[in-house]
Amino acid sequence: MFTDAHAHLSFPQFDEDRDAIIARLQESQVSILINPGTNVQTSEGAIAIAQALPFVYANVGLHPGDVNHFDMNDLEKLESLSYCEKVVAIGEIGLDYHYPDHNKSIQETCFREMLRMAKRRDLPVVIHTRDAWADTFRILEEEKSSNLRGMMHCFSGGIEEAQRCLKLGFKISIPGTITFKKSTLPEVVSALSLEDLLTETDCPWLAPTPYRGKRNEPAFVVEVAKKIAEIKGVAVEKVAEKVYANLTSLLQLQPLN
């Protein structure tokens, strides 16, 4: 039972062959897929697919790359969408300082608002952070509460950042980049327990080896689990079983029979 904790299945890159993508992920024994939103429109799309497929769940959120085009009505719409039955988390949300035109002030405001929404709704959060660890940790510490928990999506930090995330109540979600030759994620995974980990594709991006350079898809999450198993020296089935338990516990999903 493999799990893809973060896959943009509703994005247009899959419009022409989404049915084939779904068939392949089922053939690869991917039993749970979480489809995140990045704004109101993509959150609605994620919900639509989740409602059509029993093994797919949705997140609703405002990606830091989308904050320049939002208004307060969008936050109200996202909170309203969060009440849909198949919505299991708020995300993806966070900070991204990678591009020169980023607006720190707007990103921080939106990040805080989405964290507060998650606390009101008692839902986990899915955090995107790139080139922004210091501010991400500062805001999480300032907004910390007993029910703030979630996952660090597409984790790209080191062991120190991972340990700080764990202390704040977050799982570490490992993407396909762990299979890249120059990746430092093997060191992170080696230092952590299987109880701390989730697996994801972040498709359609970041296809793992041996598919690097191609469009990523949920079936490829198996390669992430295989790499974790190799690092830990355990069977891939054990990784899949433990990560499945981690994800269903975090998102309060009923385990499948």
Residue 206 inside a domain? The answer is yes
Centroid of chain to Cα 172: 9
Give the pLDDT of residue 255.
64
Q: Is 167 helix (H, G, I), strand (E, B) or coil?
A: helix
Residue by residue, pLDDT tens for the chain (257 residues) are 899 999 999 999 999 999 999 999 999 999 999 999 999 999 999 999 999 999 999 999 999 999 988 888 999 999 999 999 999 999 999 999 999 888 999 999 999 999 999 999 999 999 999 999 999 999 999 999 999 999 999 999 999 999 999 999 999 999 999 999 999 999 999 999 999 999 999 999 999 999 999 999 999 999 999 999 999 999 999 999 999 999 999 999 976 65
User: pLDDT value at position 257?
Assistant: 53
Which domain does 65 fall in, by range?
Answer: 2-250
Residue 176 lies in a domain: yes
Instruction: Please give the distance of CA 69 from its chain centroid, rounded to a whole number.
Output: 22
Return d(Cα 24, Cα 104) in angstroms, integer: 40
Question: In this structure, what CATH number is given to the domain that contains residue 53?
Answer: 3.20.20.140
Does residue 72 form part of some domain? yes
Write down the pLDDT at residue 101.
84
Query: Is 255 a domain residue?
Result: no
Report yes or no on 210 lying in a domain: yes
**CB–CB of 234/41 below 8 Å?**
no
Structure tokens at 177: 């980049």
Distance separating alpha carbons of residues 78 and 86, to the nearest angstrom: 14
Cα separation, 53 vs 181, in Å, equals 35
Residue 256 domain flag: no
Cis peptide before 175 (omega within 30 of 0): no
- Tally of domains within the chain: 1
Tell me how crowded residue 194 is: count the other CB atoms within 10 A of its CB.
17
Neighbour tally for 56: CB within 10 Å: 23
Burial of residue 93, with CB atoms counted within 10 A of its CB: 0-12 exposed, 13-18 middle, 19 or more buried:
buried
256 Cβ contact partners less than 8 Å away, ≥ 6 residues apart: 1, 31, 32, 55
Within-domain flag for 24 = yes
To the nearest 10°, the Cα dihedral for 251, 254, 256, 257?
A: 150
Q: Cis omega (within 30 of 0) on the bond before 204?
A: yes
Q: In what order do the strands lie in the sheet with 87-96?
A: 2-4, 30-35, 56-60, 87-96, 125-130, 150-152, 170-174, 197-199
